[in-house]
A = this chain, B = another copy of it.
Amino acid sequence: MNDTGIEIPLAGNWFTEVCDAHGTAFSLRITERLTEVKTAWQRIEIFNTTDFGKLMVIDGCVMLSSRDNFIYHEMMAHPALFIHEQPQNILIVGGGDCGTLREVLRHASVETAVQVEIDEQVTRLAEQYFPELCESNNDARASLQFKDALQWVKNADAESLDVIIVDSTDPIDPAEGLFSELFYRDCWQALRPGGIIVQQSESPILHMNILREMHHAMATAGYTAVKTLQFPQPVYPSGWWSATLARKGEMFTGYRQKEATEKPFETHYYNAEIHTASFAMPSFFLKELST
């Protein structure tokens, strides 16, 4: 049994995340639990695994492992930043492990990258257990703020941001408000024309209801175009994940392909071919969104 009384397939040296609503579970073999911190918002655990490096878990859900977080972080940052003509002012909502921030700061055009994470402990634990993700935290362009991002965006100057990256937990407390039309409207106000919001949008095979609602809410909030990309993410439910982008006042008509091809920094998943490919969506996805 876990905290919520759900029977879990766990024995011995395994951490298991049960996806009760979908009858699946994913396990990583662990050698030890390094720490457990209860904060005002959530319970954060760090484990050592035998094959995936360190593992961060929040309220029983896998957040990231050392081994495969590169896919998620690169795909949350680079597609949006290579679509925007000149991304200068970036907001990261959540993202406390700082992996997305690190990818954002690889872009020379970026002048400011503000990260607004509600729970400072996520960042403090990332600094300790995932130092490689935090290597750009002292970049002069970065600002780490530990606040409620809903309020931060509501109070942001109109047309002051180029890209907003919503790198949050699943759409339940405390992240539920980040999946609402109201929040998307506040983001729309804060974005300059041509600005892009990109948000992690769960698994195409498990969470089509969330994806449909997100597309609807973003369109209703005033964005001109909404588009979803897909990528593998082995440690998340179903191993298959997505991010959804919406743009203010412009369609998605391409990206800075030459710059993406000749980018002066290394990536492990993202490249120019992957950029284009990630926007190709399965037939069932297209069909379900069109109904």
Q: Which A residues lie at the B interface, using CB under 8 A? A: 7-14, 16, 22-29, 49-52, 67-68, 71, 204-205, 230, 232-234, 238-240, 266-271, 273-274, 276-284, 286
Contact = CB atoms under 8 A, between A and B. Distances in A.
Contacts of A14: 9, 25
Contacts of A281: 273-274
A77 to B, nearest CB: 14
22 contacts: A7-B12, A9-B9, A9-B10, A9-B12, A16-B25, A16-B27, A23-B28, A23-B52, A24-B51, A25-B28, A26-B27, A71-B282, A204-B232, A232-B238, A234-B238, A234-B240, A239-B239, A268-B284, A269-B282, A271-B280, A274-B281, A277-B278
A268 B280 contact: no
A76 to B, nearest CB: 15
A182 B11 CA distance: 43
- A7, A9, A13, A268 — which one has the most chain B CB atoms within 10 A of its CB? A9
Contact of A24 (B11, B28, B233): B28
